[in-house]
Structure formats: C-alpha cells, structure tokens
Amino acid sequence: MRDFYVFLGPPGAGKGTQAKIVAARMGIPQISSGDIFRENLTNQTEMGILANKYIKVGELVPDDITISMVRGRISKADCARGAILDGFPRTPAQAEAFDGILKENGCRINKVPFIKVPENVLIERLSGRLTCRAEGHVFHKVNNPPREAGICDYDGSALYQREDDKPETVARRIRVYEQQTRPLIEYYMERGLLVEIDGDRSIDLVSAELTKILLDDEGNDV
Ligand code: AMP
C-alpha cells in the first residue's frame, strides 16, 4: 500500500518548507502543485500560460486542469513509495477526485497535517518571502534569510518575490483559502485523517513535530 500525506493550511503556513524537509527525511517526493504550475510557466507550456492567468490574481486554477496535472505526476515512478502533497487538494472537488485516483491505484492517504497559523503572521510571512527560481526553495527576508543575499542556499539560483506574494494578491489568496479550501479541514476530520499542528513556531520545532507524527521510532510510516 502506497501512503500519501496531504499538507493542509493557508498560504504562508509553511506547507512547502515543511513538506520539503519531511519528504527528504522520509525518502519520498514532495509534490507542490504551485511549483509544477510555476515550472510550466517558466517553460512556457500551454498549461503554464493558462494557469498563470489565475495564479497572478490569486484565484485557483480550475479543478479539471489541476486534477489531471496531479494525476499525471503521481503516476511517475518516484511516487512508488508514496509522496507528500503540498497545495493539493485545495477544493472539495479536488479532494474527492484525489480519493478516487488513489483508490484506482490501490493507495491511500495516511495522514493530513493541518498547519495552523494566525492571519497576521501569514501576511507578514508572505510579504517577506523570497522564492528560488530553480526548485522553489523558500526564505524570508527577516526570519529566514539566505546566507548570501538574493541567492538560494541549496542550489545557488536567484531568489525573487513571487508576483502573487504582493499585498493585494496575498489578501485575495487568503480569502480564496477561507472560501474554497477551509472546508477540507472538516472533510479530512470526518475521515479521521486530520492532525492539527501549531505552525506559529520555528521551522525546526514544526518539522520535528511533523516528523514525529509521520514516522515512528524506527523511521517507518506510522
Ligand atoms: P502555492 O505555490 O501553493 O501557493 O500556489 C500558487 C498558486 O497556484 C495558487 O494561488 C493557485 O493559483 C495555484 N494553485 C496551486 N495549487 C492549486 C490547486 N490545488 N488548485 C488550484 N490552484 C492551485
């Protein structure tokens, strides 16, 4: 049985940062739907150009495009032992479609950590966020600066401010989260999969708690 983990939380909660750390510890891939869209935009694919129309204004990319993109991604060989998803699913329709895709493939969701952070902290984090061009590593101008200004510590690529991290778009994204993604908390709670995590702490404390929850003492999936 392949186990998948869905990291849930508002934009700026730390899903991407934490998913990268925990996935590396677990030896499974981290799949960020936002990173895949941005990669497609960089490569000027038809899907990337279309998705960017929604991304740049803080709206969600339509479900059909997003679902087929994730379906393709999780069928790749590197997901043979499962994966951590960050930023997907983001709507009830995506969550239902994802359950169907996993069932068809004999897989399941093992746990859904919900990373909770107060709104004022989200705004402060997103407005200071710096993202790397190559692999989407994230830093913060004040709270988590790169060793060398403007350069990613991990791959040496240039850091930039995402267009959708500008204040007007941040406010829109938080509203979209409240309306379209928040219902997933109940969806996964009803299925006994939700685990609430206090995300308003240091990166190390949050990743230590997540690792403890997702791995047992021997390093096996719980
Ligand atoms: P993220 O990198 O997760 O903050 O995503 C950036 C943007 O990509 C979002 O604001 C959406 O416009 C789009 N996006 C990412 N994941 C999804 C998804 N699961 N469904 C719809 N749109 C998405």
* 159-179: average pLDDT: 94
6 C-beta closer than 6 A to ligand 1: no
219 CA from centroid of ligand 1 (Å):
31
Residue 89 in this model has a pLDDT that exceeds 60: yes
Model pLDDT for residues 38-86, shown as the tens digit of each residue: 999 999 999 999 999 999 999 999 999 999 999 999 999 999 999 999 9
pLDDT mean across residues, the chain:
94
User: Region 168-192: what's the mean pLDDT?
Assistant: 96
Full-model pTM: 0.93
Active site residue 15: yes
73 labelled catalytic: no
CATH assignment of 2-218? 3.40.50.300
Residue 136 near ligand 1, beta carbon < 6 Å = no
Nearest to 6 by CA among 116, 115, 114, 112: 112
Predicted local confidence at residue 218, as pLDDT: 47
